[in-house]
Structure 1
């Protein structure tokens, strides 16, 4: 019980210290206007994963219907 508490406490302290620091890279990207490139790449990647999962689901549904027949 005590080691779990110590691990949890230390992780909480680490998260607080990381939140206190400013992220210079993000500020620099915002200043240069390149943050939108990062957002666009993230959105395209996310949309690709969603599209892949939807296609995979339809293929699996089709195979399940064939198996039950």
Structure 2
């Protein structure tokens, strides 16, 4: 039941976020036309990969500490 409620909340939030795309964003159009959007996407991907590596390393350390106790 809890998973169903979470799924319903996620779907409702997605619909409201999707409904707000009626305006154009000038900055995104400018980045896209000049090719700089790929730099922005690359930076975001690098940040997410760094966060994932950091979280996995913390998880390994915690598992090691839990096994010692």
- Cα RMSD (Å) of the superposition? 1.9
2:26 corresponding residue in structure 1:
24
Q: 1: CA distance between counterparts of 2:21 and 2:35?
A: 23
TM-score between both structures, scaled by the size of structure 1: 0.71
Provide Cα deviations, 1:5-42, integer angstroms capped at 9, x if missing partner.
Answer: xxxxxxx5xx74x4211011101000010000000000
Q: Give the structure with the larger helix fraction.
A: 1
TM-score between both structures, scaled by the size of structure 2: 0.71
Q: Give the aligned length.
A: 55
Structure whose alpha-carbon radius of gyration is higher: 1
